[in-house]
Amino acid sequence: MSGRHLAPHAATEALFQACKALDFPAMSRALDDGADIHAMDGRWRYPLGIFIEAWRTSAVLPDPSPFIHLLARHGADLARPEGGAGSLHTIGWLRGTDDEAGFFDALVDCGMRWHDTVDDGELLTRVVRHRAPRMLSRILSGPFDVSPDALDQDEQTALHALVDARLHHHHRPRDDRILMMMSVLLDAGASDTVPDIWGRTAPDRFRDEAPELQFAWNEMKAKYLAGRERALLDDGLPQAGVRERHDKPTTPRRRL
């Protein structure tokens, strides 16, 4: 406990200010003094939301893990940074960059819930367009069962969005971040047969808009399938009847 004790209202205001200042000791003191972790400020933000907004706009990003663990330990709902109707899930408050991978890890470690307000397709395509392979890997390997074939509002998958990321950075002769994301999606079982709202598969877009991605995808996929075949032979499993997810049409989870 801190040496001086604030009235609950004053402690809550002190918590708001500490979250805004990214001041961990002050946050801890305010919570020990009885600050209301479920109170909202004048903009309907919970302490978690105040902290997230301050953190993502800071010139220097402190390690978010101690802050998230502190708020979670005092009962913060890590899925709700703000109150009111139509409030976004915490993931909607993040840009989806690699700088936020540690933030995502801390939320997962502390038991953040995942629910229907998260649009998996919009999330994945946003992350891909931000060229964030670490964040993409965290989401697809996390405990939330996010499909790599989830569709955004244009019924595009993360594979489709690789083209947008490439075109936005067309001045780069080679973009290793895009190749890393392609590898993450391949490892996660992404299908290249899913059509978008205009009937184009990801390889269609590769061919028409970014031929270097078509070459990279074909080469990467061939190596992946060859590796799988070698693994099956090494394990002594029969080859007959084995079908790779990458070679068959899938029924993606569509946005409701």
pTM of the model: 0.83
In the block, tokens 């490892």 appear at 187
In this structure, are 244 and 129 located in the same domain? yes
Domain-ending residue, one of 75, 100, 118: 118
C-alpha 217/C-alpha 225 separation (Å) is 12
pLDDT in tens, 67-110: 999 999 999 999 999 998 778 999 999 999 999 999 999 999 99
In this structure, are 208 and 250 located in the same domain? yes
Cα 220 off chain centre by: 24
In this structure, are 129 and 251 located in the same domain? yes
User: Where does 170-210 have alpha helices with state H?
Assistant: 176-187, 202-209
Q: What is the CATH number of the domain that holds 39?
A: 1.25.40.20
Domain-ending residue, one of 118, 137, 171: 118
Span of 17-26, 164-173, 217-226 with lowest mean pLDDT: 164-173
pLDDT given at position 237: 57
pLDDT over threshold 90, residue 229: no
Structural domains counted in the chain: 2
In this structure, are 129 and 247 located in the same domain? yes
Domain of 43 in residue numbering reads as 1-118
In this structure, are 112 and 175 located in the same domain? no
The residues near 107 (Cβ < 8 Å, ≥ 6 apart) are 68, 78, 90
pLDDT in tens, 107-163: 999 999 998 789 999 999 999 999 999 999 999 998 999 999 999 999 999 999 999
In this structure, are 23 and 75 located in the same domain? yes
Instruction: For residue 209, give both structure tokens.
Output: 């808009």
**CA 45 to each of CA 42, 77, 79, 82, 87: distance values in angstroms, whole numbers, following the listed order:** 7, 12, 12, 4, 10
pLDDT given at position 87: 87
pLDDT given at position 7: 58
In this structure, are 55 and 80 located in the same domain? yes
The amino acid present at 92, given as its one-letter code, is G
pLDDT given at position 255: 41
Q: Which residue has the higher pLDDT, 251 or 187?
A: 187
In this structure, are 106 and 188 located in the same domain? no
Instruction: For residue 210, give both structure tokens.
Output: 């970014």
In this structure, are 111 and 128 located in the same domain? no
CB 66 within 8 Å of CB 22:
no
pLDDT in tens, 14-60: 999 999 999 999 999 999 999 999 999 999 999 999 999 999 999 99
In this structure, are 114 and 128 located in the same domain? no
